[in-house]
Structure 1
């Protein structure tokens, strides 16, 4: 076993070393299906930007992802197909001009769309995109008035009570919805034959619970604001100006809005709705920013939702060091030097709910300068720790990152992704599609577990520190009855349980505690006969563990790393899992491309191309360090 483990570690280290970029980072793709590819075609055609080479490449990729039954899926085991993904693929292929509705590739998708309810049953974001490109009616009254932007921060509910992801996407959407902006071209397709029934002018697109009386609540606020600002027309003008400035002041250097594809896409149309021409420098730079997210996946061009260079680099650097690569090696030095350049020194929106702390976090992408997150910060600090211990001149980097991380703890004891205490009960009453993932940024087991693991494993904090005690208590309260934890940013319960167990053990929670024993029993009970583990994206949709019925390298590594953390010696379960990792390390199949991350159930899943190397390497390194 010892020889086999070391051989696989060496193989993974060599591969990662060879694929490092000159700047020290790793740019493995952040793959998210075909939605961004389709949106890019729609954007270029709507703006009448002549880039046929790009459009042709994206058409090729979209067609390559079409299933035998003619539909498109978000993940391999999605049973019939995904309606919204199929609609957007159909629309983009038509708009490209390289296919027509009688093309063999579009006949079966059309029937699938109609048999599953038509455009009316599409997702919220899809309907909004269709509305602004003239394929779907805006409601007569958009449910969120433009004046919402002016609600003061001091009010019980305000703009900054929504997650940063919600603000980034809803700011342009609210502006577009209130303007009822639509933009068509002579080349725009006609999708009216995809309506299952007659068009509904009153389709609200974003639905709110009438029992909550949202409209009445907003109306009273607007009346109050009007008495302060003056005439209602003046209030609307100020609201539009506020939305415009929010978008412009949150542009990244590459021109994208918050470095996200969706928010930038909607921002482009929102700015045009208030008078920007389609050739305005801000519009053109945003388009170029989106184009720069292109990467190659299996020989085809894919437009990423964002880039993942910082995340990849911090995780790879740490995993390599845990597997025995010295921080004096060139590959680690280059990675660490890259990470040092990516620490944030700008204040972002996070300061609204977290005052009196200096910037010091890290963001996810290489273009992110204003939106740090807890996960990337702790991951970067883990990777940098050996270097910082040897070179005191970098102590300020460490202190800023550590203090920022500590300051981000929520009042409930857990940690969020981006901003503190963005989890108001009032927001939870809004029945917006995917509200938990779109509107809120609550404490989660994956963020809290890994933050605890970092604090107890890489700093002098321990079980007795108040911050750690509160975090442990939150984790214990969040455990499911079966012993697992739900992981917000991965798939899903294996992921959350791995984060929780490694964090709790790092903090000194006894392996004999009921919390640990229940989790271990659950993990062991779901091991597959081949020694591995696998979990379906359906777990995210149904909020309960759904087995994939096949093992994956990443899920297996997460489960094993959990068990290694709580086992003083290797067990039969652990060794069987290690054998799976070694035997299948070179596997190329749908399982290696299966999503391991998620953004929003039924809408947004992520295939991290780096994960099949990172997590097996980390797990094998921990196995070697502890047992061999």
Structure 2
């Protein structure tokens, strides 16, 4: 980590970076197939689902890892089709963002998605939103990222109906004048946590040229730091790291890469490659509500996805 930024990007460097990151996730897989750091199981299902998406997007040939991880997630799915963020079979303790993420996994790996889809659709509120579901979460139960996760997952399965249009009506009402949907310490303390799921949903819905989509892209572009990263340095604070936030910003921009923002994306990817640690991971910082909870698994999963998208878009 550290040193001079790479002068150029080449496919071999990208491949090496992705491979090392996938190896890190493999090294943190447990006997039951889950992926977590230091046996910290508080976000066991959430981290496992995101790790699996990262490995799938990486195109690495990791059938054993994928099969074992999928088997864990299938066992974690509850009878009503939902998922909690950790292993829990309390019917009220579902997590809508985890459920939506697992729906993407089920679809990509050609599993039955019927119960999961029905659960999600039945949980939509009258205003078009979805709430998080976690009983212990009192504040920001209706944050835009939740509805963004749902819409992105449903549209990825080619589901388009009244539920979808109502969801977008809700999101457009919540979009801020700067083009973002705001940030909350509960949702990784960055606006890019919402944009990385809302922008792909908008694109899938055919709104890539809509001014609201473009305003969000402009917001992300203008907030890049001079070194290529996004967000302030949080090394000495119990917050998600700059690496995690930068990966989310890059995932957002790579939904619609253009010649106009190629340099912005290039600089972000260079910064991210340079920030990878020797074990293949990225420092994820901490989850604010649990200051000792490390987010390295999640940060590495997001980084794999952003670098993989970059490779697909420009190589």
Q: TM-score, normalised by structure 1?
A: 0.44
Identify which of 500, 516, 525 aligns with 2:222. 525
Question: What is the distance in 1 between the residues matched to 2:293 and 2:168?
Answer: 29
Give the Cα separation in 2 of the matches to 1:361 and 1:441: 20
Equivalent residue number for residue 340 of structure 1: 74
In the other structure, the counterpart of 2:165 is 469
> Retained in 2: the 8 A contact 1:452–1:468?
yes
- CA distances 1:510-534 after superposition (whole Å, capped 9, x unpaired): 2x32211211111111111110112
1:487–1:403 Cα change, 3 Å: farther
CA RMSD of aligned residues (A): 2.7
Matched ranges for 1:530-549 at <5 A: 530-535=227-232
2:97 is equivalent to residue 401 of structure 1 = no
Structure 1 distance, partners of 2:296, 2:277, is 13
Pairing 1:443-522 to 2, within 5 Å after superposition:
443-457=142-156, 459-462=157-160, 465-488=161-184, 489-510=187-208, 512-522=209-219
Q: Give structure 1 stretches of 5+ with no counterpart.
A: 30-294, 296-303, 346-358, 389-393, 423-436, 538-547
Q: Does 1:594 align with 2:285?
A: yes
Note the 1:290-305 alignment, pairs <5 A: none
The count of corresponding residues between Structure 1 and Structure 2 is 296
Shift of the 400–556 alpha-carbon distance from structure 1 to 2, 3 Å rule, reads same
The equivalent residue for 1:365 is: 86
Does 2:253 match 1:557? no
Distance apart, 1:566 and its partner CA: 2.0
Residue 490 of structure 1 deviates from its aligned partner by: 1.8
Distance 1:555 1:387, change over 3 A: same
Q: CA deviation at 1:536?
A: 7.3
User: 1:403, 1:583 → 2: CA distance?
Assistant: 43
Kept after mapping to 2: 8 A contact 1:553/1:612: yes
Task: From 44, 51, 55, give the equivalent of 1:316.
Answer: 51
Q: Secondary structure at the match of 2:254?
A: helix
CA contact (8 A) 1:453 1:507 kept: no
Structure having greater relative contact order (Cα 8 Å, sep ≥ 6): 2
Match of 2:107 among 385, 403, 411: 385
Inter-partner Cα distance in structure 1 for 2:301 and 2:284 = 14
Contact in 2 for aligned 1:452/1:503 (Cα 8 Å) = yes
Unpaired segments ≥5 residues, structure 2: 1-8
Question: How much does 1:604 deviate?
Answer: 6.5
**Which secondary structure does the structure 1 equivalent of 2:294 belong to?**
strand
Task: Provide TM-score, normalisation by structure 2.
Answer: 0.85
- 1:259-294 per-residue CA deviation (whole Å, 9 max, x = no partner) reads xxxxxxxxxxxxxxxxxxxxxxxxxxxxxxxxxxxx
Distance (Å, rounded) in 2 between the aligned partners of 1:557 and 1:613: 9
Give the whole-Å Cα distance in 2 for the aligned partners of 1:535 and 1:468.
Answer: 34
Distance change in 2, residues 1:369/1:335 (3 Å): farther
Aligned counterpart, 2:299: 612
1:592 shift after superposition: 2.8
Compared CA separation, residues 376 and 308, structure 1 to 2 (3 A):
same
Bigger radius of gyration: 1
Shift in Å, 1:612: 2.6
Shift of 1:369: 4.1
- Cα distance change on mapping 1:612 and 1:441 into 2, 3 Å: closer
Whole-angstrom CA distance in 2 between matches of 1:387 and 1:495: 25
Question: 2:3 is matched with which residue?
Answer: none
Q: Deviations over 1:6-58 (max 9, x none)?
A: 111111112212221121111225xxxxxxxxxxxxxxxxxxxxxxxxxxxxx
Q: What SS does structure 2 have at the residue aligned with 1:576?
A: helix
Deviation at 1:445, TM superposition (A): 1.2
CA distance in 2, matches of 1:506, 1:485: 19
* Counterparts of 2:174 and 2:277, CA distance in 1: 36
* Structure 1 residue 310, shift from structure 2 partner: 0.8
**Secondary structure in 1 aligned to 2:195?**
helix
How far apart are the structure 1 equivalents of 2:275 and 2:26?
20
